[in-house]
Amino acid sequence: MCFDFDALPPELPADLVRAPMAGGAGAKLLALTSSDAATFSAALAESPQGSAPGVVILPDVRGLYRFYVELAERFAEAGHHAIAIDYFGRTAGPGPRGEDFDWMTHVRQTRVEEVQIDVSAAIVALRERTGVESVVTVGFCFGGLQSFLAGTNPELGLDAEVGFYAALDTSSRGFPGPLERAAEIRGPLLGLFGGADQHITFDQVMDFDRRLDEAGVEHEIHVYEGAPHSFFDRSYDEHAEACADAWRRVLGFLDQVGARTAV
């Protein structure tokens, strides 16, 4: 898994807090329904500022647990409406997920197409509840994989995709992943990886970068030297600089997307 259950997302650098959550307001738990009538859980954090674009957060293999609920709140503090989704409504019922959740059993039953129709339902909910038009996916590990693959689906109407230590090579899982489908991704794309990641190797990241270049996909890839898989964790004091830089890169990327879609 990407994080221990007690992990929490890094705090925003103070200068990036644009809309402090007044009165202890936090994310609201929602029940959403996809086009195949599946019901799944999501956590929506509305920002007092509400700058474009909105963010759909795609968690790691543990689904909607507290790390991602708080992450939605951090994006709201940074000025972006955000919604984090759970993947497992079809097989495990509603979330959020606790420490004892048997995530692997349910990960094995997920399908890319079903994740994407859940993303579509989340986009609709985000737009209806906040009025935001442009939307970017931000995913982590398994969710980074799903974020990049969502960029291959024009029906979702995404404006960009972000992935933290996204799984790239899915050849052992029986479906084509970001490496194989790089040329189909509609950019812009931002990929953030750990240089000491034992799961997503540096060679895979460079191969992905090369394939995006060859396909003319607008993208930025950054590798944090010495950082492990799942470095984006408040408890990793030794990676605090990488976490702060990742926040700046992601929010700067969102600002660029927002400026482009506002034209």
pLDDT above 90 for 70: yes
> For position 89, what pLDDT does the model report?
93
Q: Distances in Å between the alpha carbon of 64 and those of 96, 131, 258?
A: 5, 24, 26
- pLDDT of the residue at 22: 57
Strand-pairing partners, residue 223, are 193
The answer, yes or no, to whether residue 24 has pLDDT greater than 60, is no
Q: List pLDDT tens digits, range 42-66.
A: 999 999 888 889 999 999 999 999 9
Whole-model pTM? Answer: 0.96
**pLDDT interval class at 87 (50, 70, 90):** very high
Sequence ranges of the domains in the chain: 14-262
Average pLDDT for 95-121: 92
pLDDT-derived band at 25 (thresholds 50, 70, 90) equals: low
- Residue 77 neighbours by CB under 8 Å, 6+ apart: 12, 17, 18, 19, 20, 21, 47
Cβ(56)–Cβ(137) below 8 Å: yes
Q: pLDDT for 215-244, tens place per residue?
A: 999 999 999 999 999 999 988 788 999 999
Lowest mean pLDDT among 50-54, 146-150, 195-199: 50-54
Superfamily (CATH H level) for 14-262: Alpha/Beta hydrolase fold, catalytic domain (3.40.50.1820)
| pLDDT band at residue 23 using 50, 70 and 90 as cut-offs | very low
Q: Are the beta carbons of 244 and 9 closer than 8 angstroms?
A: no
- 183-203 burial code (b ≥16 CB/10 A, e <16): ebbbbbbbbbbbeebeebeee
Top-confidence residue, 206 or 103: 206
pLDDT confidence of 2, banded at 50, 70, 90?
low
Rounded to an integer, what distance in angstroms lies between the CA atom of residue 222 and that of residue 246? 9
Rounded to 5 degrees, φ, ψ at 138 are -130, 115
